[in-house]
């Protein structure tokens, strides 16, 4: 059965409940989409954790990790900027670290990835831009609850 993204209300709840976003494939190059999206999310108050074995030691002022499993604290959302065919192992790692949500960015979807993450108890959002969703659903930022 094909994956269906959560409703807009559910996505809003996910964003409101999330504070730490690990970004797989976050580039240290400011002109890359992953960098621009992550920088905007950081400005909205989310803690962005870079995950990119090919990048430098820090990105956007945060320590860069080689893999999700190297992050020594809980992660709410794993946001993925990798080609669709490279996402199943990311889903496996997201499950292994106990993330709550796996978010595949705009243009990225993979049914196997969704199945792995959902079987592991994660909510899955595919082919959506987290920055766009956040801007539409939480235009004034997250409410401090």
The owner of tokens 């996505």 is: 11
Which of 62, 67, 58 is CA-nearest to residue 97? 67
Beta strands in 2-145 (DSSP E): 20-24, 47-51, 58-59, 62-63, 77-80, 101-104, 123-125
CB within 8 Å of 62: residues ≥ 6 apart: 47, 48, 49, 50
Query: How far apart are alpha carbons 108 and 39 in whole angstroms?
Result: 20
**Against a cut of 0.75, is the pTM above it?**
yes
H helix runs in 48-110, sequence order: 88-96
For the stretch 81-100, pLDDT in tens is 999 999 999 999 999 999 99
Stretch (H or E) spanning 119:
helix 111-119
Which tokens hold the place of 142?
């997250």
For the stretch 99-121, pLDDT in tens is 999 999 999 999 999 999 999 99
Query: How far apart are alpha carbons 114 and 143 in whole angstroms?
Result: 29
H helix runs in 7-87, sequence order: 8-17, 33-43
The predicted pLDDT at position 140 comes to 83
CB within 8 Å of 140: residues ≥ 6 apart: none
Range 29-42 average pLDDT: 97
């Amino acid at each position: 059965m094909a994956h269906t993204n959560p409703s807009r209300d559910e996505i809003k709840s996910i964003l409101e409940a999330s504070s730490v976003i690990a970004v797989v494939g976050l580039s240290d190059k400011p002109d890359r989409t992953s960098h621009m999206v992550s920088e905007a999310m950081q400005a909205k108050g989310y803690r962005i954790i870079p995950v990119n074995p090919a990048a430098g030691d820090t990105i956007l002022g945060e320590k860069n990790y080689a893999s999700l499993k190297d992050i020594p604290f809980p992660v709410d959302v794993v946001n993925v900027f990798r080609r669709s065919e490279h996402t199943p192992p990311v889903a496996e790692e997201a499950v292994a670290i106990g993330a709550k949500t796996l978010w595949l960015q705009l243009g990225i979807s993979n049914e196997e990835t969704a199945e792995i993450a959902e079987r592991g108890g994660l909510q899955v959002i595919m082919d959506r831009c987290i920055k766009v969703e956040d801007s539409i659903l939480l235009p004034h930022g997250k409410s401090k609850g």
